[in-house]
Structure 1
Amino acid sequence: MSQTYPIEIAETKAVFYPKQQAEDRWEQALERAHLKTYTMCHCLSDGNECKLAIRRIRSGYVFARYQDTNHNHRRNCQFYGPSRGQSGMQGYTRKAVNVRADGGLTVSLARGLKAPKSEVENDAPPNAPRHGDRAVRRDTMRLGGLLDLLWEEASLNRWDRAKPTYWDVRVGTALLRQAEKMHVGRLTLDQALLLPAERSRQENGKTIEHQRNLDVLAFARKLNLRPIAISPLARYDRARDVRQIHQAPLAERNASYSLGSGRHMGCLS
């Protein structure tokens, strides 16, 4: 079970315990410390510093782990993650995924968010061999790898029996918070990311998630971007889906991925 531990502001030595991290004083402390200092997670009792960068996003402040430090946290800590050599990141070079000075990530996609200027241009990456040399690491990341990275950074790959994870707005919010920290070119991933939205109970009404998707689409049209949509896939229907799969462009046929535990996600660009 993921657990929240006390966090210390390095500059002032002030320690905030989990219950205090919901108070206004906590937000004020982060605002003063942002861009000036870092924080330390107290998940370990051996005196080792688990540094965290303070990052400001649209909804407030979040923490980002420094490069190759996620495995230094206690296993039940909310900031724990497998080391690069123990995760799917071992298949990529630092050109594909690199940690920024502010704790965010820079991701180099095999197929960029910016659409080609003409229909004649084709920037689709060449097909990679299914059984290539495992020692060869990629300099760019495809959509499947990006989905895995988002899922892992949001800690959705960790099962908690006390809090089973079902697809709902909370999962989309967790993915969105991580997308805000991922830089693709001059953009952050959230600026081109479409997520499922609940229907409004009011006629012709729009939920916050629905309006955000509309804003993303308007932004994509303005800058000629290719949005990335992440959504749970509908249940398989042979009569319907076999015909649609044969008719779909090749890039879309390879754009759905299984994430285990009987759950599947679609990731289209």
Structure 2
Amino acid sequence: MRRFEIAGRIRTEDDPAVPAAIAAAYRDRMRPLCLCREPGIPMYVAAMGEQFVVKRMPLSGGQHDPACDSYEPPVDLSGLGPLMGSAIRLDPASGMAALRLEFSLTRTGSRAAPTPGATESTSVKSEARRLSLRGLLHLLWNEAGLTKWTSAWAGKRHWWNVRYHLIEAARTMLVKGAPLSEVLLIPEPFRAANKDAIEQRRAAALSAVQPQKTGPRKLMVLVGEVKEFQPARGGHRLIVKHLPGFPFLLDDRSLVRVQARFEAELALWAANDASHLISVATFGLNAAGLAIVEEIALMVVAQNWIPYESAQELRLVEVLAKAREQSIKGLRYASPADQPIVAALLMQHRPRPLALFVVPASADDAYEAALEEMIAARPEMDSWIWHVSQGEMPALPAR
């Protein structure tokens, strides 16, 4: 049971007075303290309709106790580590994360062909000074809490709450001094009865990128679930779920490049009907008001919206989805495929937290050495390793 200090008073989550206290903290712009550790760790209050929720500050999860729901694993176990302090800088005063992006949110001159946006650093130890498009999607997914899962949540994660948590995460991030949420388009769940109101809200959001007579064209960032890529005259359409009648256009050469760069993601999506394919793309509007994709990256997620990058990781994610203890999925961010990352973590595992690793069949001696170094750097954790070349997935240790 979590404990908070709100306006100088200590309360537990089940205290009947907590909802009113949280609402007052939101109104007065006060920061509750999570008391999983002493001294308390600052939190913030987010509005979810008429409800108010206490959430952790961006990228502060490592400060919490491993048994706390706000805990996040050490950044050195995922691809997040090399980005901290360079591509991602935290402001302790405001609690915001300032992002330096590898891609542009403006375009000058004629439109260039969009390129796959998942640039990988050549070494996990090299400093990643800017955040790629795929890295941004991973960051949003992680900060939205969408890498966490327990079987108690089965059937309770839908697009509407995925969208809500992504937008809340974006509000804690700054791009050139402005909240990322101001340039982010995440389609709201479409309902035919609300079609006019939904389209009016979308038009208002897109007003910021309407083409101007002079100056560079402004771009927005789309995060949405892919429905299909459709052939069109002179190119293709990216059809996004919950955006009927609003396609995103790519030319033929761009689609060929996307299919080559994200061959694995597209194949994994095609092989599993329960999975979702998530697109993150920069786009602008042309003079006719059509959305033109400039840069795009793809990520495949399981039925419960947990990301995975191989058939073996999907197998692990499906096993963890049935477990009663909470798992945290590791993400790659800017790390290349030939560098190890933790596949998942069981931080509340006993007697010690458990780090799960999936070693691909293509792993060489350098990969194995890097994995041994990563494990040795965390002696407080136990490790479980699946060497894919050695056969089927081994059983997870009993709790």
* TM-score normalised according to structure 1 size: 0.74
Aligned partner of 1:112 in structure 2 is 104
CA positional deviation for 1:85: 1.5
Would the aligned equivalents of 1:55 and 1:102 in 2 still touch at CA under 8 Å? no
CA distance in structure 1 between the aligned counterparts of 2:34 and 2:152, rounded to whole angstroms:
24
Higher RCO structure, 1 or 2 (CA under 8 Å, sep 6+): 2
Q: Does 1:15 align with 2:10?
A: yes
Whole-angstrom distance in 1 between the partners of 2:255 and 2:228: 21
* Pair 184,131 (structure 1): closer, same or farther in 2 beyond 3 Å: closer
Paired position in structure 2 for 1:163: 153
Letter in 1 for 2:97: L
The DSSP-based 3-state class of the residue aligned with 1:145 is: helix
**1:2-40 deviation digits (Å, cap 9, x = unpaired):** xx722103xx42123324476334322444463xxx432
The Cα of 1:56 is off from its aligned counterpart by 7.3
2:277 alignment partner AA: H
Mapping of residues 199-210 of structure 1, within 5 Å: 199-202=190-193, 204-207=195-198, 210=199
Corresponding residue SS for 1:267:
strand
The structure where strand makes up a greater share of residues is 2
Q: Distance in 2 between matches of 1:215 and 1:256?
A: 35
Q: Where does residue 189 of structure 2 map in the other structure?
A: 198
Give the C-alpha shift of residue 144 in structure 1.
Answer: 0.4
**AA of the residue aligned to 2:5:** E
Q: How much has 1:72 moved relative to structure 2?
A: 3.2
1:267 aligns with 2:284: no
What CA distance in whole angstroms lies between the structure 2 residues aligned with 1:252 and 1:180? 32
Q: Secondary structure at the match of 1:213?
A: helix
C-alpha separation between the residues in 2 aligned to 1:257 and 1:152? 21
How far, CA to CA, are the matches of 2:159 and 2:220 in structure 1?
Answer: 21
Query: Is 1:140 aligned with 2:133?
Result: no
- Equivalence for 1:6: 3
From 185, 202, 220, give the equivalent of 1:227.
220
In the TM superposition, residue 87 of structure 1 has moved relative to its aligned partner by: 2.7
Contact persistence 2:43–2:57 (CA under 8 A) = yes
Show structure 1 runs of 5+ residues with no match. Answer: none
| Secondary structure of 1:178 counterpart | helix
Task: Determine helix, strand or coil for the equivalent of 2:69.
Answer: coil
Does the Cα contact within 8 Å between 1:111 and 1:125 map onto a contact in 2? Answer: no
SS of the residue 1:162 aligns to: helix
The one-character-per-residue Cα deviations of 1:200-257 (angstroms, maximum 9, x if unpaired) are: 34275324xx5443222112227842111111222689x99xx858815279825899
Q: Alpha carbon RMSD of aligned pairs, Å? A: 4.0
Q: 1:61 to 1:91 in 2, by over 3 A?
A: same
Return the alpha-carbon distance in structure 2 between the equivalents of residues 91 and 256 of structure 1: 26
Which amino acid letter does the alignment assign opposite residue 216 of structure 1? A
Contact 1:255 1:267 (C-alpha < 8 Å) held by counterparts: no
Rounded to whole Å, the distance in 1 between the matches of 2:67 and 2:211 is 43
Give distance in 1, aligned partners of 2:191 and 2:204: 17
Of 72, 78, 81, the match for 2:72: 81
Q: How far has the Cα of 1:143 moved from its partner? A: 0.8
1:16 alignment partner AA? R
Indicate the SS of the match to 1:205.
helix
Amino acid at match of 1:200: R
Cα distance in 2 between the residues matched to 1:173 and 1:234: 20
Check whether the contact 1:107–1:183 (CA below 8 A) recurs between aligned residues. yes
AA of the residue aligned to 1:174: H
Distance in 2, Cα, partners of 1:190 & 1:252: 28
What is the letter of the counterpart of residue 247 of structure 1? D
d(CA) in 1 for partners of 2:277 and 2:133?
A: 14
Mapping 1:17-56, distance limit 5 Å: 17-19=12-14, 20=16, 23-32=19-28, 34=30, 38-42=31-35, 44=36, 48-54=38-44
1:89–1:131 CA distance, 2 compared to 1 (3 A): closer
Return the alpha-carbon distance in structure 2 between the equivalents of residues 31 and 257 of structure 1: 47
Cα distance in 2 for partners of 1:33, 1:152 equals 25
CA gap 1:142/1:57 in 2 versus in 1, 3 angstroms: farther
Report the more deviating stretch, 150-159 or 72-81.
Answer: 72-81
Identity %: 17
Shift of 1:89: 1.3
Count, aligned residues: 250
Structure 1 residue 116 displacement after superposition? 2.6
Do 1:108 and 1:140's aligned partners in 2 also have CA atoms closer than 8 Å? yes
Q: Please give the secondary structure, in 2, of the residue aligned with 1:52.
A: strand
SS at match of 2:279: strand
1:154·1:175 contact (CA, 8 Å) conserved in 2?
A: yes
Query: Are the counterparts in 2 of residues 71 and 83 from structure 1 also a CA contact under 8 Å?
Result: yes
Aligned counterparts of 1:148 and 1:174: Cα–Cα separation in 2: 13
